[in-house]
Structure 1
Amino acid sequence: MLVAGLCSLLVHFCSWRGKQWLCKWCLRGVAVVWSSGSPPRSGSKMDRYDRAITIFSPDGHLFQVEYAQEAVKKGSTAVGVRGRNCVVIGVEKKSIPTLQDDRTVRKIHSIDEHVMLAFAGLSADARVLVDRARVECQSYKLTLEDPVTVGYIARFIANTKQRFTQSPGRRPFGISMLIGGFDFDGTPRLFKTEPSGAYYEYFANSTGRGEKPVREYLEEHYNDETIIDEASVLKLVVRSLSQVVQSGAQNIEIAVMKPSDEKGRVQHRVLPIEEVEELLKVVEAERAEAEAEETSKKGSSK
């Protein structure tokens, strides 16, 4: 009540002075607009729209949301591909200090027995959302006695992100997430959420610093008639990550989720580094064979 009263007095005072300014003390982020005058601070006209998350710029931008998207572009690359009977997520692993325990550095998290996610952006923000998503999964199961659908938890995460773009005193989450898993009927699903709160379903997509080249590779090579089983999906994930990640199993982390039996139970496992190395060898051999075949075709055409 006291704060609201002070803000009201400030509005009338500034209106009388004929100034244009944003009330710093108003916890609700109320913008005070006057007919004339200039803001009593230095800086360009566009700078004032950086002050509050709930204020649009004249050309329709929310700058803090765009800054959060820039944080995503600086994060590790992540890619997800959905097959007919599996979902595979791969992420770029950056080098860590020698004395750091690598078990504490994870970009792929299990949300429930049948849902997993990977993220690009700020790890601390991701930890908060992962914890909230896990609590929501358990609450849903206790209330309805059924596991959540992948679409439900993707929408929950997206709604949480959106609230942080429309409430004063907060900032947007600087992360983008790839959420994959299986519904209770055995259907594989893959979603992507943005810092703005938008979310969409995909057959394959990427996020992070290498999003553009990886997505272009996926658009060129993904085919739902050939990318069917686990082996073909794994190869596509490795090939797409190799567009932006240095070769070596130590730089890639891959998780696979697929049905384990006819009762609908789902198996989730992270590939050991030895299995990733074998997969890389197969992919490199196939690539060398394709290049040799293309070279021979060019030679014969001449």
Structure 2
Amino acid sequence: MERYDRAITIFSPDGHLFQVEYAQEAVKKGSTAIGVRGKDCVVIGVEKKSIPTLQDDRTIRKIHSIDEHVMLAFAGLSADARVLVDYARIECQSYKLTLEDPVTVGTIARYVANMKQRFTQSPGRRPFGISMLIGGFDYDGTPRLFKTEPSGTYYEYFANSTGRGEKPVREYLEEHYSDETTKDEAAVLKLVIKALSQVVQSGAQNIEIAVMTANNERESHCSHRVLSVEEVENLLKEVDDERVAAESEEGKKK
């Protein structure tokens, strides 16, 4: 085996860092995650895999709150995510103590991306096998959504996905994302449910959704909540009823 296939700091003859590409493969095997930025909200949804009967599902979280105004979801290795989540939380608090302002979403996305990038340059380490969707609000009330990769790259998006179902979910978002489907929280929730339904077929128990909205009346200026299973079930039923009605209307036209 050639050294460039084992060492993180050596490029292959055709310009690849194979260990980084292997980390990306770990992401592709992870649960699907989706993030959508609306006009006044950010919604993140994830696919929850089935767990052993005796395992407490409260110990399995794919969506994490980083600060009062920032949350993230990930696909890939959960242990790697736990480390980065802890670092991100510390950075949020350090930023607030130093500058007396809440950290911007772009700043924390860049911080996470920089940490990932450092682990692609140092011998004796390996890249983080996770991709993250980081969403929230800046202190001026602007919703933001970023995606970071194992290589350390990061970009801002209106909507995106990651994980094993990234391609079909992203294609659905590209086709259906519009001002109409993101006009308010209810519309964004439906868009996220419909997109996740492209890869999740087993109901509300396998979907987790978190919503963050701007709230100028509170000191934190943001409110964050995770939807209950009952709320997800109601959304799925509403979306299914709309689909049946649309198919019925289409049948009448024929």
TM-score, L = length of structure 1: 0.82
Provide, for residues 127-185 of structure 1, a one-character-per-residue CA deviation record: whole Å limited to 9, x for no partner: 00000000000000011111000000000000000000011110000000000000000
The answer on 1:152 being equivalent to 2:107 is yes
Partner of 2:52: 97
Aligned residue for 1:278?
A: 234
State how far apart, in whole Å, the 1-side matches of 2:116 and 2:13 are.
23
User: What do residues 67-126 of structure 1 show as CA deviations (whole Å, max 9, x unaligned)?
Assistant: 000000000000000000000000001111111111100000000000000000000000
Aligned residue pairs, count: 253
Asked whether the equivalents of residues 3 and 10 of structure 2 are also in contact (C-alpha less than 8 Å), the reply is no
Cα deviation for residue 273 of structure 1 reads: 0.7
Query: In the TM superposition, what is the alpha-carbon distance from 1:260 to its structure 2 partner?
Result: 2.4
Pair 1:64-2:29 in alignment? no
Q: Which deviations, in whole Å up to 9, do the C-alpha atoms of 1:39-74 show, x marking residues without a partner?
A: xxxx4xxx3211210100011100000000000000
Partner in structure 1 of residue 175 of structure 2: 220
Matches of residues 32-71 of structure 1 in structure 2 within 5 Å? 43=1, 47-71=2-26
The superposition leaves residues 271-299 of structure 1 with CA deviations (integer Å, 9 ceiling, x where unpaired) of 011111111110000111111222222x2
- What is the aligned counterpart of 2:212 among 238, 250, 257? 257
Q: 2:181, 2:188 within 8 Å by CA — same for their partners in 1?
A: no
8 Å CA contact retained: 2:9, 2:123: yes
* Among 43, 59, 84, the residue aligned to 1:88: 43
- Structure-1 separation of matches of 2:26 and 2:61: 18
Structure 2: any 5+ residue segments left out of the alignment? none
Deviating 4+ runs (over 6 angstroms): none
In 2, Cα distance between equivalents of 1:48 and 1:291: 57
Give 2:123's aligned amino acid.
Answer: P
Q: CA deviation at 1:237?
A: 0.1
Runs of 5+ in structure 1 lacking a partner? 1-42
Within 1, Cα distance between the matches of 2:63 and 2:233?
A: 19
Q: Provide the secondary structure at the position in 2 that maps to 1:196.
A: coil
Match of 1:135 among 90, 96, 106: 90
2:70, 2:135 within 8 Å by CA — same for their partners in 1? Answer: yes
TM-score (norm 2): 0.97
Structure with higher Rg: it is: 1
Matches within 5 A, 1:24-39: none
For residue 225 of structure 1, report the CA deviation from its aligned partner: 4.3
> Higher relative contact order at CA 8 Å, sep ≥6: structure 1 or structure 2?
2
CA distance in structure 2 between the aligned counterparts of 1:51 and 1:76, rounded to whole angstroms: 27
Distance 2:180 2:139 in 1: 24
Task: From 31, 41, 57, give the equivalent of 1:76.
Answer: 31
Q: Which moved more, 1:257-266 or 1:279-288?
A: 257-266
Q: Tell me whether 55-64 or 220-229 shows the greater mean CA deviation.
A: 220-229
State the SS of the aligned residue for 1:90.
strand
Distance 1:51 1:226 in 2: 46
Does the 8 A contact of 2:9 with 2:17 survive in 1?
yes
1:237 equivalent in structure 2: 192
Q: Distance in 2 between the 1:80 and 1:296 partners?
A: 36
How far does residue 186 in structure 1 lie from its aligned partner after superposition? Answer: 0.1
Alpha-carbon distance in 2 for matches of 1:102, 1:247: 16
CA offsets per residue over residues 223-272 of structure 1, 9 Å max, x none?
Answer: 03442100000000000000000141101000000022345610000001
Cα gap change, 1:226/1:273 in structure 2, threshold over 3 Å: closer, same or farther? closer
What root-mean-square deviation, in Å, do the aligned CA atoms of Structure 1 and Structure 2 show? 1.0
Aligned mates of 2:181, 2:57 — CA distance in 1 = 35
Which of 99, 102, 116 aligns to 2:71? It is 116
| Equivalent in the alignment of 1:3 | none
CA contact (8 A) 2:181 2:191 kept: no
